[in-house]
Each structure stands twice: as C-alpha cells, then as structure tokens.
Structure 1
C-alpha cells in the first residue's frame, strides 16, 4: 500500500488545500457517508446537541462528528448498514475503530486548548432504506481504550 499524502494546511483550514475531487472509486462512498452523517447530525441536533466539528482528521484516525452535549464533548462515529446479516451498523465499530476515534479525539482536544472537558464516545447506527433510515443513537457506546 502506498503512502498517504500529507496535505498542506492554509489559514482557511486543513481542508482548504485538498483537491476538490475524489478518486473515481471513492466518490460514491464519500457521498453516501456524507448522507448518513447528515441524517445523524439532524437527529443529534434535534436532541439538543451542538455541532462543533465535522470530519476531524489526523494521521491516527477520524471523528465523523464532534458535538457538545452541555459541558460534555461528544465524539460521534456514524455507521450505516442496509441489513443486520453481519451484526448491523453498531457492531461494525470494532475495537480498532474505537481506538482510532479515541486517538483522533485526543488530537482534537490537544489542538482545542483550554481546560479539558468531559468526553463521551457515541455511535449513531443507521439501517434500512436510504430514503428513511432507522436511527439508533448509542450514548457512551464505548470508552477510550486504556492508555488513550
């Protein structure tokens, strides 16, 4: 597998200098992921959470949504599965994925500055038809792995 390119950053933010297009094979997956994240975001905002950041990337991982729930900062992993034949959307958040989300949250907190808030790791699992997915919000779905 080749090296992952390191994109330069600009005063407009780390994504400002990224290419506007995706490789052809990834375009559909990116658009679908954005659709599920939009469903999850609307659900969480309707419940009173406030969006702080979308798609925080670092070399160690990614957080789909960073939300505020009162004084608590919430890292949200969004997953979609059409069916449950392989355990469903929530079951697809493996320990490896949990570790990568926790590492990305640590990176996010270090760049944020100020006192460290309480942190929670949630999963929003979507399933069923794309037009009207079933949404399951798992609060405190996992803890940061030991040492993170």
Structure 2
C-alpha cells in the first residue's frame, strides 16, 4: 500500500508539472485488460499518453530506461483501446511521453521525454 501512495504522489507531481507546461488533463490511471496509462493529457491538438516512472536515485539508470519494448506495447494497446472508447479524441494527433521522476536532496525533479516512443504509422 505504501508504494501505491508514493506512486500516486509522484503522478500528482507530474500532473501538476505538465499542467504548468499548458497540458490539460483528460484522464488519470486509465486501465484496460492490456494495461494502464498513468496520465492522458491534451497538448494543443495532440493527445498525449504519459508513462510516469520514479527512481529514488539514478545509480542504476533513469526511470525512462525501464520503459522497454514490452511495456511500450502494453501502453500502445491501452491507448488504442482508449481511443476506441473515446471517439471524440480519434481526430487528434497522438504522442507517447515518459516522465522520469527522481528524488534528489528531499525534492522531486522531472525529466520529460516527449515522443519517447512511437507506433509506426502514427
């Protein structure tokens, strides 16, 4: 339970950070049988599917490095499912971002990787 609360806190931090960057929240923690997407936001005319990763430190790499091909495929399938359910977003461009959050000196810092991976044909 403790890690879920920590995850929620980190996701809220990222949501606030991205809102300050002018993105608008569509949905948080969207789940399907394929997986979960942490945040779905609009960035102008683009729908952004965002994976949030947390690392207490970067000794073993960044959180973004843990979003491997298998995880990318789960996110892509979940995004496709979301778009099937929410037809009003089907006309928007889509993008997959990863935000890697690191704890440093008792404060969080975010590294936002726009267009971190792609679905061929999008």
In the superposition, the TM-score normalised over structure 2's length comes to: 0.92
Q: Is the 8 A contact 1:109 1:116 kept in 2?
A: no
Larger CA Rg, structure 1 vs 2: 1
Gaps of 5+ in 2: none
- Higher helix content, 1 or 2: 2
Q: How does 1:70-89 map to 2 (within 5 A)?
A: 70-89=44-63
Give the 4+ runs in structure 1 shifted more than 3 A.
none
Gaps of 5+ in 1: 1-26
**1:54–1:94 Cα change, 3 Å:** same
Whole-angstrom distance in 2 between the partners of 1:130 and 1:64: 25
- Higher strand content, 1 or 2: 2
Q: How does 1:1-148 map to 2 (within 5 A)?
A: 27-114=1-88, 115-129=90-104, 131-144=106-119, 146=120
The count of residues paired between Structure 1 and Structure 2 equals: 121
